[in-house]
Structures are given as C-alpha cells and as structure tokens.
A and B are shown apart, each in its own frame.
Chain A
Amino acid sequence: MSGNSTYQPQSKVLQWFEKRLPIGGLIHSSFVAYPTPRNLNYWWTFGGILSMMLGIQIVTGIVLAMHYTPHVDLAFKSVEAIMRDVNYGWLLRYLHANGAAMFFLAVYIHMFRGIYYGSYKEPREVLWILGVIIYLLMMATGFMGYVLVWGQMSFWAATVITNLFSAIPGVGDTIVTWLWGGYAVGNPTLNRFYSLHYLLPFVIAGVVILHVWALHVAGQNNPTGIEPKSERDTVPFTPYATVKDGFFMACFLILYCWFVFYVPNFLGHPDNYIPANPAVTPAEIVPEWYYLPFYAILRSIPDKLLGVVALFGSILILAFLPWLDTSHVKSGRYRPLFKQFFWLWVIVCIGLGWLGSKPPEGIYVIMSRLFTLYYFAFFIVILPLLGIFEKTKPLPNSISESVLGAKA
C-alpha cells in the first residue's frame, strides 16, 4: 500500500496472475518491503498483537456462535452446554472471554503509546481518528458480547447502559424503547445484541484495513518522532519487524494463556454465573474492568444527562487530540513537561478504573470528580498550553543518528 511495487514473481503462473490482479505486489509492498523506522521499541509491537487478537476473537466467536442460542430461556443454558458438552467448548469460551480482556489491555497500551510519542500528529491525524473509531466499535462489541452470556451481570449491565440513552431530553425514553425492542431488556434485546455482536467484528476488521492503509501511506511514527530522511533510517518490514512482532506476540500469548488455563474467571464477576433474573437486582452492578474508568466519569457527575455527555465526551475527545496538542515536537521523549503531565494522566486513568469499581459514596465521589477534572483538563487546558510554553529538548538530526550516535 506504499506506492508502486517492485515485486517480480519468479514463477510464470504467478507472473500471469500478477498482471491481472497485483495482490502479490500489494502484500509484498505492505508486509515485506515496507520500510519501518529502525528505532521502533517493543511498544510498537501492539498493532500486530491487536491484529492477532481480532483474528482469535473472530475465529473462536464463529465457532461459539455455532453452539450458542440467543433466547432468554436458553442463552445461559447454551453457554453452560458449551462449557460441558461441546468438545473443547470450555477452551473456546475461556479463550473468547479472556481474549476480549486481552484485546482491551493491548489496545490501551497501543493508545498510551500513541499519545506518549505523539503518533496522532501530522501527517497521521486520519490514522489516529480511524483508531478512535475502532476503539468505539470495540467497546460496543465487547459490551454486547458480555450481555450474550445472560447472567445476572449481563442483564443488569444491559439495563444500566441502555438506560443511559434515556437521559437525552425529549426523545430519550423513545430511543431506549427502540433499543430494547420492547419496554424492558428482554428477548428482542438479546436477539439484536447477538446479531450486532456478530456483525461489528467484521466492521472492525474493515476499519482496521483502513487503519493499516493510512499507516502505510503516512509511515510509522517512531520514538524520536522525527520522520525517516534516508534509507539508513529504516529497515524492511520483513524480516525485521516481522520477527520482532512475532517474538512479542509469543510473549503476549503466554500472558493470555495464563489467564485462560489457570485463572479463567479472575476477570469475570461471580454473579454472571447466576442466570439473569429481572426480579432480583445484584448487590452491586459493575461493568467489565475495561469500562471502569468511563463508568467512574459517568457517576462522578450528579446530573444524569451531563454524566452521559461526559462519558461519551471522554472518548470522543480523543478524536480531537491532533488539534488539541499544539506542540510541534511529537515525541514525549523531548518534552520534559509533557512527560510529567502524561504519566499523571495515565495514573488518573487507572485511578478512575479503581474508582469505577468502588461504591459511589464519600471520598470515592470526591476523588472521582478530581480525577475526571484532570482527565478533561489534560486535553482541553494542558495540551494546548504546553505547545506554547514548554521548552523542548533538542531533537536529533535523524533516526540513525539517535540509534548509532553522531559519528555514524
């Protein structure tokens, strides 16, 4: 996807095919000859890891769908039947459930990396926005997948989240009824969530293709944040990036499989092993860990509508990051002040996650409000002002100079 290919197939058959559909050249220029900055660190391997996780989720999900029944009376039972009676069903289901968590862990690392190294800045704005769209789609997909289990936490999470839309003035209740397909979360809700949960991963895959395309047009950012200037600044994707990504994928699989085989229910909630019961509200309703920071932002604001606005705003504001950050230096490595504000922001995000799991009372409410304030101030106040006032460190002349020293 990076300009004209120099790919020349050896065999006559492939030459014949290449003239008619140059897919070999496309793959060659995208994943073999594609020049990657030579100074990429391991934080850059998470794009590959995320592609792998999407693949695992789609494959395990398609097989699970062969055994799952989207009906309020049968959903929970069919999940348990997968766990008990389907050959390796327990493995498929634990891979899928923990895979979602690992997918989010990887995407958060990927996003933090993008923000630290200024990967959203010119000429990568569209690349970044496509990433925000993928993240939004992931959140919708993950939420609906969690509901399909139809345990107590599934049902009540569906009730709480869909009810957020009732905060919209005037038409809120109508929208919620439309989302439910009835007057409460019920069979039509479960059925449409199943349909959408099957559809959205393929939409994600489509946007991922655009994301990779945009990446290969703009080229990868790198830890110095300066663009490659000569061939000495880059190495071919294969074998260099391939083998590096492969190594870290294998490491990530160890972590993932540790959860799947040894602590498969650690990230879940015990209540989700109780079948959904609309008549009994659980003692506490908490979302999956990867939504907790947003849940804390929602609850930190006393007004329901403003809380929902803050919740969606906290995600959508990411799309405006390329224009909120006014600094001309991309990488946080050369921005001493930004670095401190960034790490504080990371701590605040994790802190919000912790607060999201706590009851909304006393000190937790006050902390949630302070943390929410900093979350938004980082984007709206700190980043625009830093570009004006921050004194950045001198940049190296080129990527190769930063790696090999000034002598090279």
Chain B
Amino acid sequence: MTNKNTILALTIATAIAAFAAPAMAQVHEVPAPPAVKWSFAGPFGKYDEGQLQRGFKIYKEVCSSCHSLSLLSIGSLADAGGPGFSEAQVAALAAEYKIKDIDDKGETIERAGRPADHFPSPFANDAAAAAANGGTAPPDMSTLAKARGYMRGFPLFVLDIFTQYQEAGPDYIHAILTGYKDAAPAGFTMPAGGNYNEYFPGHVIAMPKPLSDGQVTFDDGSPATLAQYSKDVTAFLMWAAEPKLVQRKRTGFQVMIFLIVLSGLMYFTKKKVWSAVH
C-alpha cells in the first residue's frame, strides 16, 4: 500500500471516529446560534485585550450580582494572553473586594482583597443562591463558555475538526444574550417566572434579560449597545474558561512545524533505508 493511501485511510478513520463522537448539547426546535466572528478563533486566534477589559467591566457591573467566578484569582486578570491589566491595576481592583477571612484571634473578619484571592461569590452558598433565584443557583461562570454548546449535526461536526471550530459555547452564549423577546409568540404558554428566549432549549429561561442598551458605559468610547455588550462579555467568559488559549495555539503552531519537518525527514530516511530491499 502506498503512503498516500495510508494517510488518506488514516484521515478517513479519524473522520469515522469523529462521526461517532457524542452529540453536543441537546437543543430542540431552536434555531442554531448565529456564528460570530471571534478574534480568538482559528489557528492564530488571540484575545482582544480591549474587548476582554470591556467584558470584565460588564461582568463586574452586571453578571457578578448573581454569577460567581470562583475558579479565577483576581490576579489572573494580569496574566499574559488575558485582558492585559497591569499588576498595579489588579492590586487596586483586588483591594475593592471584601474577602471573608479569619484573623490571628480566630475571629471572622472581612479584609481588603489581594490579587491571589479568588473572585468572591455573590451568595454565601449554593442554597442561598438557589433561594434568591427561584430555586436554581445561577451557574458559576468560570468554565461556562466550555460548558455550553449546541448540536452541530452531520456533516458540520466532522468539518469542525478541520476548520478548528471550537466556538459553539461562545456562539451559544452570545445568542442567548441577544435572543430575548419582550413577549412570547402567540399560542406559547409561558410558565410563571419564565422569560422567552429564541435560542434557549424550550425557549423558557429563568434568567431575566440581563443586558440592555446603555446599561454599562465604556471608558474607550465603544458603543453602549446590547450588540457590543453581548460580544464583549462572551469573549471575557471564553477567556475565563480557557485562559491559556493564546499560549496553546502559539505552542501548537511551533509543534506542528516541528512535527511536519520531522515526518518529512523520517519519510526520506525510510525511503533511503528501504531502497536496498525493494
């Protein structure tokens, strides 16, 4: 068998393996979220610092009143490949937070936050969060952008391997944020406490419309619109879920070049070695 055939066969085998991959999050009779052009997509994708800073502002002023971000340290906002805040900015920001702690005498105190502290949660515990939100605690946002998605379907999900589409989570979150309707369509019975969302599975979402035009004012003059907010906060959530994405893709490119050169050299070595016996 020739090398070309074998490589082709391996590619097909991979496609076949992927064909059997578990279906993505189940969505019934809701439209597929529109694909947004994200700066972090593709093999050379990077986060947009300004966008992450705006997104963080939205999280801080809006989302954080209900959603925790407990797996992230405040200091990680200054990490390479992230929103690009300076150490001094992060230290000042951390000091704004009140952190529960125990002092030398064993008394429970509240002290000013430090960069090593994780973001404090809006509720004392899950039960309190659930009680304040109609029975279900709002999900933690640390991994949310990777914990959401939608069914891509055949053959898209096979092509996703080659196009490197990994943004089902961000596209879904963006669609939810922009998918609220003031009223449910005629004939749709809305349960008490529900809100109509075009993209939410079953259309009934407990979270009220979180973002509206003019709600947050940006320092960099970006438009104060829902269209802008929904993109910025989603990009921030993607960074929160995958803070090493830039490092990963950059390393990946180096690894790929190395492996392709290695494979090429191995191929010619193999050809030379075997030329004597063929």
Q: Residues of A at under 8 Å CB distance from B? A: 38, 41-43, 77, 80-81, 83-84, 90-91, 94, 101, 105, 108-109, 235, 239-240, 243-244, 246-248, 250-255, 257-267, 269-271, 273-275, 283-284, 286-290, 292-293, 350, 353-354, 356-358, 403
Q: Report whether B26 and A284 are in contact in the complex, using a CB–CB cutoff of 8 Å.
A: yes
Which has the most chain A C-beta neighbours within 10 Å: B144, B247, B260, B267? Answer: B267
Point out the residue from A38, A250, A258 that lies within 8 Å of B262, measured CB to CB: A250
Q: Evaluate whether A247 and B269 lie within 8 angstroms (CB atoms) in the complex, with A240-B277, A254-B260, A263-B160 already known.
A: yes
For chain B residues 148-198, which have a beta carbon within 8 Å of chain A? 148-149, 160-161, 164-166, 168-169
Which of B5-13, B30-38, B205-213, B218-226 has 4 or more CB atoms under 8 Å from chain A?
B5-13
Q: Decide if B147 is an interface residue (CB 8 Å cutoff).
A: yes
Bound CA–CA A248/B10 (angstroms): 11
Chain A residue at smallest Cβ distance from B22: A286
Q: Is there a chain A Cβ closer than 8 Å to B270's Cβ?
A: yes
Q: Is the CB of A41 within 8 A of B6?
A: yes
Of the candidates A105, A260, A274, the one whose C-beta lies within 8 Å of that of B17 is: A105
From DSSP, what is the main secondary structure of chain A's interface residues? helix
Q: Which partner residue on chain B sits nearest A262 by CB separation?
A: B164
Q: A246-B270, A350-B20 are known contacts; what are 4 more A-B pairs with Cβ within 8 Å?
A: A91-B251, A240-B273, A261-B255, A350-B16
In the complex, which residues 236-278 of chain B have their Cβ closer than 8 Å to any Cβ of chain A? Answer: 241, 243-244, 247-249, 251-253, 255-256, 259-260, 262-263, 266-267, 269-270, 273-274, 277-278
Q: Shortest Cβ distance from A35 into chain B, in angstroms? A: 13
**Residues of B with C-beta under 8 A to A287:** 22
Using A247-B270, A273-B146, A283-B26 as known contacts, say yes or no to A266 and B20 having CB atoms under 8 A apart: no
- B20 partner residues in chain A, CB cutoff 8 A: 289, 292-293, 350, 353-354, 356-357
Name the CB-closest residue of B to A358.
Answer: B23
Given A246-B266, A270-B169, is A289 in contact with B22 using a C-beta cutoff of 8 Å?
A: yes
B108 at the A/B interface (Cβ < 8 Å)? no
A247 and B266 contacting across the interface, CB-CB below 8 Å: yes
**Chain B contacts for A353, CB-based, 8 A:** 19-20
| Ranked 6 nearest A-B pairs via Cβ | A261-B252, A353-B20, A273-B147, A247-B266, A286-B22, A42-B6
Cβ–Cβ contact B143 & A273, under 8 A = yes
**CB atoms of A265 and B14 under 8 A apart:** no
Contact B259 A270, beta carbon cutoff 8 Å = no
Contact across chains for A42 and B259 when beta carbons are under 8 A apart: no
Question: Nearest CB to that of A261 among chain B residues?
Answer: B252
- Residues of B within 8 Å of A273, CB to CB, are 143-144, 146-147, 241
**Complex Cα spacing A250 to B256, Å:** 11
Cα A266 to Cα B7 with chains together (Å): 21
Q: Residues of B contacting A258 with CB < 8 Å?
A: 161, 256
Query: In the complex the two chains form, what is the Cα distance from A292 to B20 in whole Å?
Result: 7
B147 x A283 contact (CB < 8 A): no
Given contacts A80-B143, A250-B263, A271-B147, contact A357 B23 (CB under 8 A): yes
Closest-CB distance, B206 to chain A (whole angstroms)? 14
Residues of B near A265 (CB, < 8 A) are 146, 166
Q: Which of A83, A293, A356 contacts B244 (CB 8 A)?
A: A83
Bound complex: CA of A350 vs CA of B17, how far in Å?
8
Q: Considering only CB atoms, which chain A residue lies closest to B157 in the complex?
A: A266
**Chain B interface residues (CB < 8 Å from chain A):** 1, 3, 6-7, 10, 13-14, 16-26, 43, 71-72, 76, 139-140, 142-144, 146-149, 160-161, 164-166, 168-169, 201, 241, 243-244, 247-249, 251-253, 255-256, 259-260, 262-263, 266-267, 269-270, 273-274, 277-278
Closest to A242 in B: B273
- Whether the Cβ atoms of A270 and B267 lie closer than 8 Å is no
Q: B256 to A257, Cβ gap below 8 A?
A: yes
Whether A261 touches B269, Cβ cut-off 8 Å, given contacts A253-B259, A284-B26, A286-B23, is no
Complex Cα–Cα for A108 and B9 (A): 13
Nearest residue (CB) in A for B126 is A277
Residues of B within 8 A of A286 (CB): 22-23
Closest to B43 in A: A262
- Which of B43, B255, B278 has the most chain A CB within a 10 Å cutoff? B255
Q: How far is the CB of A309 from chain B (nearest CB, A)?
A: 23
B249 near A261 with CB under 8 A, answer: yes
Q: Establish whether residues A255 and B243, one from each chain, have CB atoms under 8 Å apart when the complex forms.
A: no
Beta-carbon contact of A243 and B273 below 8 Å: yes
Residue from the list B139, B143, B270 in contact with A243, Cβ < 8 A: B270
> Chain A nearest CB: distance from B202 CB in Å?
10
A354 to B201, CA, bound (A): 23
Q: What are 29 A-B contacts with C-beta separation under 8 Å?
A: A41-B6, A42-B3, A42-B6, A80-B71, A80-B143, A84-B71, A84-B76, A109-B10, A239-B273, A246-B269, A247-B269, A248-B6, A253-B259, A254-B260, A263-B164, A266-B21, A270-B25, A270-B146, A274-B139, A275-B140, A286-B22, A286-B23, A288-B22, A289-B17, A289-B21, A350-B16, A350-B19, A353-B19, A403-B278
Q: List A contacts of B270 (CB < 8 A).
A: 243-244, 246-247
Contact of B266 among A41, A250, A358 (CB under 8 A): A250
**A38-B278 Cα distance, complex, nearest whole Å:** 9
Nearest CB on A from B258, distance (A): 9
**A261 adjacent to B241 (CB under 8 Å):** no
**Are B21 and A357 within 8 A (Cβ)?**
yes
A399 to B259, alpha carbons, bound, how many Å? 34
Whole-angstrom distance between the Cβ of B16 and the nearest chain A Cβ: 5
A240 CB contacts on chain B under 8 angstroms: 273-274, 277
B252 engages A269 (CB within 8 Å):
no
Closest to B263 in A: A250
In the assembled complex, the CB of B249 is this many whole angstroms from the nearest CB of chain A, namely 7
Find chain A residues with CB under 8 A from B161 CB: 258-259, 263, 266
Partner of A270, one of B24, B247, B260, B263: B24
* In the complex, chain A residues whose CB is within 8 Å of the CB of B277: 38, 235, 240
CA–CA, A246 and B163, complex, Å: 28
B252 touches A262 (CB 8 A): yes
Residue pair A247, B13 in contact (C-beta under 8 Å):
no
Which residues of chain B are near A252, meaning CB under 8 Å? Answer: 10
Complex CA gap A270/B72 in Å reads 19
- Is the pair B7, A251 in contact by a Cβ cutoff of 8 Å? yes
A-side contacts of B249, CB under 8 Å: 261-262
